């Protein structure tokens, strides 16, 4: 076992930090803060080009599809440093692992390089009004018609749909088959006629959460499909195998710098805040109850870090996950909740103040995170579903 970074990895991190200091402009941060295009406007695309020139995007992705065929740990280092500013860069994003595993050559060549460059962005079309945690109950239909499929239905919480180029979606292709065996995955351009996106505003929208808020998105969407005709080449993997295709790489989507940082940034923030601030002479940093709690949270956060390092170690070795990805997706979000709730009791009434308020601490960052952290335990597989998976796949316990 080796809990340290190599000299090369340390150097890489130093180079990335220096690059960020010299290249991440206020203009980019303002663009991200504005939330338009999900923060991925011209400034972002300009940055991606510069990062690509350094050879730092898609490091662990195959060379033939626009990556560097390098190590996952190196990619993690790049991802972590950018993600600390809220900038998603470095990997290929959700959906890419499954495309690499199950896509046709044409799909891989078309999608993966574009995803690595941030030019192709997928909205995720899984959840429906009547199918959330029980995803296999989804109803959106795709019916084969010659060389095309025709799609009708509705998807919920398609968060990127208003700025994404494509949607990665699960549809029912065989209503008579057992539920898990009648589902297919399609990769569909968002500009296809018949797709309508309607905004759903989250509790972070008024006033808007400050930049850096975990789950600070003001907007998600519901997306409607009305006689949407797509070529059959949009099918990913085999028809009716979508449940199994979708499972490929799902674990990989649940681990990494983004998952880790959204759960632990507030631990650093609150420690750094109480070290430098007080309330008219009352210093929480000297309060024994606060000190005990901060030490407890810091230790939990270290476990978040180590779980992420364990996942990176497994991926680097080319090993498969048994329960480690699910475990990380239980521990980290629940830790994030512990921290934000504890912070509310450390800052007391000040933790109520939202971004637009006078007297708000750190532009309301802590208050908005209290509304964001629990979302992490719901999205992308709830912590209860993750525990089910650990128990059944990891521990071999029988289904209820």
Partner 1 sequence: MDILPSEEEQMLKNVAREFLEAEISTAMVREMEIDGIGYPPALWKQMADLGWLGLALPEEYGGQGLPLTYLGLVLEEAGRVLAPVPLHSTSVAALTIANDGTDQQKKEILPSVSDGGMILTWAVHERDPRLIPEAMQMQATADGDGWILNGTKMFVDNLVVSQRCLVACRTSPASDANEGISLFLVDPNGNGVTQTSLITLAKDKQSRMDLQNARVERTALVGEVDQGWPIVQRMLDRATALLCCQMVGAARKDAEMAIEYAKNRVAFGRPIGSFQSVQHMLADMIINVDGGQMLAFEALWNMDQGLPSSVEVSQAKAFCNEKCEVVVRHSQVIHGGIGFMMEFDLHLWFRRVTSWTMRLGTTYEHRAKIASALLDVPGKVRLGMPLPVGA
- Does position 226 interact with partner 1 (CB under 8 A)? The reply is no
Which residue from 23, 104, 196, 299 is in contact with partner 1, where contact means CB under 8 A?
A: 299
- Does position 134 interact with partner 1 (CB under 8 A)? The reply is no
- Shortest CB 214 distance to partner 1, Å: 15
| Cross-strand pairs, 150 | 143, 229
CB nearer to partner 1: pick between 6 and 233:
6
Site for partner 1 in 243-272 (CB under 8 A): 264, 267-268, 271-272
Site string for partner 1, 337-376 (x = CB under 8 A): ----------------------------------------
- Shortest CB 153 distance to partner 1, Å: 30
- Does position 398 interact with partner 1 (CB under 8 A)? The reply is yes
Site string for partner 1, 268-297 (x = CB under 8 A): x--xx-xx---------x-----xx-xxx-
- Locate 123 and state its tokens: 């909205």
Which residue from 32, 73, 235, 255 is in contact with partner 1, where contact means CB under 8 A?
A: 73
HSE at residue 306, side-chain half, CA atoms within 13 A, is 9
166-172 vs 183-189, strand pairing mode: antiparallel
Which residue from 169, 330, 367, 371 is in contact with partner 1, where contact means CB under 8 A?
A: 330
CB nearer to partner 1: pick between 48 and 264:
264
**Could you tell me which of 126, 121, 149 has the C-alpha nearest to residue 139?**
126
Residue 206 CB: number of other CB atoms within 10 A? Answer: 12
- Does position 34 interact with partner 1 (CB under 8 A)? The reply is no
**Burial readout 219-241 (b: 16 or more C-beta within 10 A, e: otherwise):** bbbbbbbeebebeeebbbbebbb
Q: What's the distance, CA 202 to chain centroid?
A: 17
Instruction: Report long-range pairs for 64-70 (Cβ below 8 Å, ≥24 apart).
Output: 65/100, 65/108, 65/109, 65/112, 65/113, 65/116, 66/112, 66/113, 66/114, 66/116, 66/117, 67/92, 67/112, 67/116
CB nearer to partner 1: pick between 150 and 309:
309
- Does position 15 interact with partner 1 (CB under 8 A)? The reply is no
- Shortest CB 2 distance to partner 1, Å: 5
Q: What is the DSSP string of 242-254?
A: HHHHHHTTHHHHH
Judged by the rule CB under 8 A, the positions of this chain that interact with partner 1 are 1-6, 9, 73, 264, 267-268, 271-272, 274-275, 285, 291-292, 294-296, 298-303, 305-307, 309-310, 312-314, 316-317, 323, 326-327, 330-331, 384, 386-388, 390-392, 394-400
């Amino acid at each position: 076992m080796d809990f340290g970074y190599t000299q090369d990895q340390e150097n890489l991190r130093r180079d990335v930090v220096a690059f960020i200091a010299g290249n991440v402009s206020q203009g980019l941060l303002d663009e991200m803060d504005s939330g338009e295009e999900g923060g991925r406007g011209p400034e972002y695309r300009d940055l991606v080009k510069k990062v690509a020139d350094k050879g730092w995007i898609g490091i662990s992705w195959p060379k033939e599809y626009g990556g560097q065929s390098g190590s996952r740990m190196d990619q993690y280092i790049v991802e972590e440093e950018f993600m600390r500013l809220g900038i998603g860069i470095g990997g290929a994003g959700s959906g890419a692992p499954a495309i690499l595993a199950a896509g046709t050559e044409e799909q891989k060549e078309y999608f993966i390089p574009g995803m690595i460059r941030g030019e192709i962005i997928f909205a995720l079309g899984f959840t429906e009004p009547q199918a959330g945690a029980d995803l296999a109950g989804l109803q959106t239909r795709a019916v084969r018609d010659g060389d095309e499929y025709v799609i009708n239905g509705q998807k919920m919480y398609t968060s990127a749909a208003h700025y994404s180029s494509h949607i990665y979606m699960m549809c029912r292709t065989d209503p008579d088959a057992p539920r898990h065996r009648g589902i297919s995955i399609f990769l569909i351009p968002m500009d296809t006629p018949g797709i309508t996106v309607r905004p759903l505003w989250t509790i972070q929208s008024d006033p808007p959460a400050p930049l850096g808020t975990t789950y600070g998105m003001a907007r998600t969407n519901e997306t409607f499909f009305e006689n949407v005709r797509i070529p059959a080449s949009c099918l990913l993997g085999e028809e009716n195998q979508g449940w199994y295709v979708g499972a490929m790489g799902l674990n990989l989507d649940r681990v990494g710098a983004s998952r880790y940082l959204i759960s632990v940034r507030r631990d650093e923030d609150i420690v750094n805040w109480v070290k430098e601030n007080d309330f008219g002479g009352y210093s929480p940093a000297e309060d024994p109850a606060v000190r005990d709690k901060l030490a407890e949270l810091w230790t939990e956060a270290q476990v978040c870090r180590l779980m992420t390092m364990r996942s990176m170690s497994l991926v680097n070795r080319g090993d498969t996950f048994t329960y480690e990805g699910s475990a990380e997706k239980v521990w980290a979000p629940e830790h994030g909740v512990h921290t934000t709730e504890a912070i509310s009791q450390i800052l007391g009434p000040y933790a109520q103040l939202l971004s637009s308020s006078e007297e708000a601490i750190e532009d309301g960052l802590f208050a908005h995170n209290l509304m964001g952290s629990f979302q992490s335990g719901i999205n992308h597989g709830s912590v209860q579903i993750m525990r089910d998976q650990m128990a059944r796949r990891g521990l071999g316990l029988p289904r209820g």
